[in-house]
């Protein structure tokens, strides 16, 4: 009987740890994605890894935003984010999401890592060789974002809840 109680308590702890991680992952992903999708780059810093804070976000803020047409920004906001799936590994997680703007809907995945015990978005930057800016403010580059391997192995796990963004501006 004691053995059954021990196993039951262990399972309860395991499931509560997973749901706690899932909430922290969701909060970090939503904070980062809402900020960047709505061009509020400074608001993304608390949800970003050290590398993303030091390289990717400053590059976006200092190099890409100044050359992005303000009419394009206005046309693409407000943006909303909907998390559709979360896959959790030991020290990394992948979050699938849908980004809705007044002009289009896109699906993508973002990688989160555990850094100093905190879940953060990790988007390392490979600096482009050239950037081409079209008249509508869209840009393309000749580089590829550095690939990070996650520790996600096995079957996909659906999130228990679908997170949707709050589009109220900060």
Would you give the DSSP letter of residue 166?
-
Residue 125: the pLDDT is 81
The residues spanned by each domain of the chain are 2-141
Residue 97: the pLDDT is 97
Beta-bridged to residue 92, according to DSSP, are 113
State the average pLDDT for the chain.
78
Query: What's the fold here for domain 2-141?
Result: Nuclear Transport Factor 2; Chain: A, (3.10.450)
DSSP string, 134-152: -TTS-EEES--PPP-----
Distance CA 47, CA 113 (A): 11
* pLDDT above 90 coverage of the chain, percent: 58
Beta-bridged to residue 106, according to DSSP, are 99
3-state secondary structure of 75: helix
More confident residue, 146 or 79: 79
Residue 48: how many CB atoms within 10 A of its CB? 25
146 close to 127: Cβ distance less than 8 angstroms: no
- Residue 65 makes CB contacts below 8 A (sequence gap 6+) with 39, 41
Beta-bridged to residue 132, according to DSSP, are 140
143 close to 127: Cβ distance less than 8 angstroms: yes
Residue 143: the pLDDT is 46
pLDDT digits (tens, 9 = 90+) for 70-124: 998 999 999 999 999 999 999 999 999 999 999 999 999 999 999 999 999 999 8
- Residue 7 makes CB contacts below 8 A (sequence gap 6+) with none
Distance CA 90, CA 115 (A): 12
């Amino acid at each position: 009987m004691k053995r059954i109680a021990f196993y039951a308590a262990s399972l309860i702890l395991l499931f509560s740890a997973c749901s706690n991680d899932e909430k922290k992952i969701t909060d970090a992903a939503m904070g980062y994605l809402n900020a960047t999708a709505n061009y509020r780059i400074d608001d993304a810093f608390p949800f970003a890894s050290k590398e993303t804070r030091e390289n990717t976000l400053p590059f976006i803020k200092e190099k890409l935003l100044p050359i992005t047409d303000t009419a394009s920004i206005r046309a693409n906001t407000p943006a909303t984010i909907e998390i559709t799936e979360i896959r959790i590994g030991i020290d990394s997680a992948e979050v699938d999401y849908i980004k809705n703007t007044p002009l289009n809907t896109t699906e993508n995945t973002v990688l989160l890592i555990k850094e100093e015990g905190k879940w953060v978005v990790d988007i390392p930057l490979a600096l482009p060789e050239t950037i081409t800016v079209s008249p509508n403010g869209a840009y393309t580059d000749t580089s590829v974002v550095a690939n990070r391997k996650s520790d996600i192995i096995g079957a996909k796990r659906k999130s228990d809840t679908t997170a949707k963004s709050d589009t109220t501006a900060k």
